[in-house]
Amino acid sequence: MTRAANSRDTACRILAAWMRTGTFADRLIGERTGDRAFVVETVYGAIRWKRLLEWAVASFTGASPPPPVLPYLHIGLYQLLKMDNVPAHAAVNETVEAAKRRLGARRAGLVNAVLRKAAGERGPVLERIAALPLDVRESHPPLLVARWIAGFGEAGAARLCAHNNRRPSVVIRPNLLRTGFAEYMQRLHAAGTEAEPHPWAPDRCIVVPHGNRVESLPGYSEGLFSVQDPATLAAVDLLDPRPGESVLDACAAPGGKTAAIAERMRCAGRIVAADVGEPRLLILRSNLSRLGLDAVRVCRCNAGRPGEVAALCGEGRFDRILVDAPCTNTGVLARRPDARWRFSRESLKECRALQAGMLDALAGGLKPGGVLVYSTCSLEPEENEGLAAWWSERHPDFKPAGSVSLFPPDTLTDGAFAAAWRAPGVARE
């Protein structure tokens, strides 16, 4: 098998595993060597455009092909319809070669027939796609599109879907305990990296051009930056941690918000970063260690269980608590394309119950006058404004202290929501 066919074979096998199990795509891809950029692009692309590719398969076959054939059809059609930099003959020939090795000549023949037909009719097919309904044309679940049309209008929903289908930018934030913003920008430019300040946070975050491996950027091993979308800073801004305070980041992994908190506090005070399981804690510890934030105490805690929160507060309650709650992730579908296919009314209901439980449990960990901040990377009102209003009604002694909502097409960030409350009582100066 040629190297090109082998890359397509790898992509098809990963996509087949995703179709079969629904496992998170990034875990299936892992740290594979070889033509990793091509594999990542085609796997994420085929997942992102799943609904449109299903329409294309049905259009070209008029039937339901055998499940083992689908990954090869989707990977091949994604190249033909969405990757202008891949020659059609390469997309067809190399994908068919990969299919022949795995599926045998007969099923590879079906792949060959469909891809050749798609390549020959690409222009008319693209015209047909442009006239399809929004959910098919932009490959999103009908339920999400209907919700977004109701919430943002047809034009807003279309802009959001288009944003979700763009290749997301790589954004980093300099570690201000180890370098300055301008100083690090100069270092990037000196290394030949044409980075630019992010338009929503031009003095805090940097957009790195595609094609740069994060680990190869200057200062990575020295902990001079973290990979962090500006949307994550909205919750930290509301939290407003001060040096000398006692602060809890209750759902801390992978650690971007924890790092921003520690930097603002100059690592002076009590900083606790907690999460629910050892795999997440391992990532959290690794990221904080690389950034040199050894002053942060990392511990295991299920923030939805009052008993575990009470145990965590055994050394004293906190001046400020951040709960970046598990959510439906509908604000980060550009970065997590598989999350759009996991959204359902049931998942939304489960997330809301979990979020409410976390707020209730963590509120008891605050000192008098302390600040509680709740955040999500969701765009759904049930998890955001609706939940904040509901919680405020149930806890009238907690005073709302501001909120922020980020809409990705407007801010060019991930989608995010954050709300803050101040606990009853008077904070000590």
The residue annotated as part of the active site, out of 205, 301, 351, 377, is 377
- Parse the chain into domains and list their residue ranges: 3-132, 170-227, 230-422
The reported pLDDT for the residue numbered 287 is 97
The reported pLDDT for the residue numbered 367 is 96
The reported pLDDT for the residue numbered 22 is 84
Determine the Cα–Cα distance for residues 96 and 115; give it in Å rounded to an integer: 9
The reported pLDDT for the residue numbered 37 is 84
DSSP type of residue 329: -
Q: Could you tell me which of 291, 297, 289, 284 has the C-alpha nearest to residue 253?
A: 284
The reported pLDDT for the residue numbered 117 is 96
Residues 6+ apart with CB under 8 A from 353: none
- CATH topology assigned to domain 230-422: Rossmann fold (3.40.50)
Determine the Cα–Cα distance for residues 305 and 297; give it in Å rounded to an integer: 20
Question: To the nearest 10°, the Cα dihedral for 401, 407, 410, 414?
Answer: 100
- CATH topology assigned to domain 3-132: N-utilizing Substance Protein B Homolog; Chain A (1.10.940)
The tokens describing 386, both together, are 């609706």
Note the pTM of the prediction, 2 decimals: 0.93
The answer to whether 153 and 189 have CB atoms below 8 angstroms apart is no
Does the annotation count 377 as an active-site position?
A: yes
Determine the Cα–Cα distance for residues 215 and 198; give it in Å rounded to an integer: 20
The answer to whether 359 and 326 have CB atoms below 8 angstroms apart is no
Considering the domain delimited by 170-227, tell me its CATH architecture. Answer: 2-Layer Sandwich (3.30)
The reported pLDDT for the residue numbered 191 is 95
Q: What is the mean pLDDT of each run of 10 residues along the chain (429 residues)?
A: 74 94 82 75 96 96 90 97 93 94 92 96 95 98 98 98 94 97 96 95 95 92 96 98 97 97 97 94 96 96 93 90 98 96 97 97 96 98 98 97 98 98 80
The reported pLDDT for the residue numbered 24 is 83
